Structure 1
Amino acid sequence: MSRPLLPSGRRHGLPFVVPDDWTPEQALAVFELLDDLLAIVTDHYGAQLHELLREQRSSAAGARTRERDPPF
């Protein structure tokens, strides 16, 4: 059985488990930290990330189309 995909699509790397005994306040603190990190990275790299994601998605879509095309 394969491990579930993360939003990034990665299957390998260090496993990370969120403890199930966090308080709502602890979960909120982590959520806010990640939200702040996302905002900072997006502010700094937003245009570059957008372009890279566009390229990756168009390449993946093209590959899927080529796989379905008959070989003649």
Structure 2
Amino acid sequence: MKPWHPPSGLRQGLPFAVDDTWTPEQAWAVLELLDDLRDRVWTHYGLAVQELLREQRVTQEPLDDFDQDLPF
């Protein structure tokens, strides 16, 4: 079996396993907690995260010849 790699890329920290005996209500409570956490992180870091994403996605290529290669 392959090792699981979290999306964050972190390889150290506290191990966490999802209990497979949770009731649907317990699972829902965890999802609500995660939603609240995401909302609080976004409230505090939202603008900085948007700027970081913009920096990562914006091309540095000049757009002078952008329209010249289009067939229409």
TM-score (norm 2): 0.63
- Of structures 1 and 2, the one with the larger relative CO (CA 8 A, separation 6+) is 1
Instruction: State the number of aligned residues.
Output: 58
Q: Give the % identical residues.
A: 62
Counterpart-to-counterpart distance in 1, 2:8 and 2:57: 13
Which sections of structure 1, spanning at least 5 residues, go unmatched? 59-72
Measure the CA separation in 1 of the matches of 2:26 and 2:19. Answer: 10
Q: Which structure is higher in helix share?
A: 1
Unmatched runs of 5 consecutive residues or more in structure 2: 59-72
Q: RMSD value over aligned CA atoms?
A: 2.4
Q: TM-score, normalised by structure 1?
A: 0.63
